[in-house]
Chains A and B, each alone.
Chain A
Amino acid sequence: MSTVTVQLFASYAESFGGPTLNVPLKSGSTVADLLDSMRALPGASILPDSPRVAVNRKFATNDQLVDARDEIALIPPVAGG
């Protein structure tokens, strides 16, 4: 078991109560596993069915592996422009 730090922004940061969240993860976990763990946390009701996740500054797929060395962020619906 290791801990990954997840960066949060905008509405997600408000809902979870801060700009980062430490989430315990088993080795070999995927983005989908991470999201499952996060859904149990207070504030997770804001998450849509399929939140966008970025790993190392690129949009990730649900089956992508993640570990503590990765830069992980949850990306709320973007609204630039």
Chain B
Amino acid sequence: MIRVALVTRAIDPAALIASIASTGYGAISLFAGTVRDTSDGRGVSAIDYSAYTSMAEAELEQIVAEAADRFGITSLIVEHRIGVLSLGETSVAIVAAHAHRAPAFDCTRYVIEEIKKRVPIWKMEHYIDGTREWVDPTKAIGATAK
């Protein structure tokens, strides 16, 4: 099973793992991105995710096809949430299963790194002081990945 989805409801990583589990796999790797309470030293209260939906879904499909091919993965689920998320909520979940751990780890890592490079999804951070800002990773202080 390989599928991607943009969702507007809460992501349930445990349910994704359950849906992919099989006795044929010795490894299931989960990456979950969650809403952190600080950003560059500023207190965050929420993040509003938006997307160019049709292209984002197409890019996600392309990325999972590449990952499946590259790592020999046949079970891979990616969900990315859109809308206003509270602190601690899951914004993205990537679950990959394989007979062995290395391809499962490598697959989830590849998918999240590619999402950050080329899936047209944006986030507006809302701060506890009432201000808000579009996140631009190309201008990040120190240019570290978020």
Is chain B's interface secondary structure helix, strand, loop, or mixed overall? mixed
A75 on the B face (CB < 8 A): yes
Residue numbers in B under 8 Å from A58 (CB-CB): 55, 58
The reply to whether B119 and A80 form a contact with Cβ atoms under 8 Å apart is yes
Is B58 within 8 A of A78, CB to CB? no
Q: Say yes or no: A81 contacts B112, CB within 8 Å.
A: yes
A80 touches B80 (CB 8 A): yes
A16 part of interface (Cβ distance < 8 Å): no
Given contacts A57-B54, A73-B52, A75-B52, contact A10 B119 (CB under 8 A): no
Task: Report whether A79 and B136 are in contact in the complex, using a CB–CB cutoff of 8 Å.
Answer: yes
B 105-137 binary contact with A (CB < 8 Å = 1; else 0): 000000010011111111110000000001111
A48-B138, A54-B120 known; A81 vs B52 contact (CB < 8 Å): no
- B50 within 8 Å of A (CB atoms): yes
B83 at the interface (CB under 8 A from A): no
Contact of A10 with B134 in the complex, beta carbons under 8 Å: yes
Least distance between A46 CB and chain B CB atoms (Å): 10
CA distance A77 to B133 in the complex (A): 13
CB nearest to A7 among chain B residues: B52
Give the total of B residues in contact with A, Cβ under 8 Å. Answer: 30
A residues less than 8 Å from B116 (CB atoms): 78-81
Q: Is the pair B55, A79 in contact by a Cβ cutoff of 8 Å? A: no
Q: Closest CB of chain A to B125's CB: distance in Å?
A: 9
> Nearest 3 CB-CB pairs, A to B?
A80-B121, A10-B122, A57-B55
Using CB atoms and an 8 Å cutoff, list the residues of chain A in contact with chain B. 7, 9-11, 14, 48, 54, 57-59, 73, 75-81
Q: List 28 A-B contacts (CB under 8 A).
A: A9-B51, A10-B50, A11-B122, A14-B134, A48-B138, A54-B120, A57-B55, A73-B55, A76-B122, A77-B136, A77-B139, A78-B117, A78-B118, A79-B122, A79-B123, A79-B134, A79-B137, A79-B146, A80-B56, A80-B80, A80-B115, A80-B116, A80-B119, A80-B123, A81-B91, A81-B112, A81-B115, A81-B116
- Interface residues of chain B, those whose CB is within 8 Å of chain A, are 33, 49-52, 54-56, 58, 80, 91-92, 112, 115-124, 134-139, 146
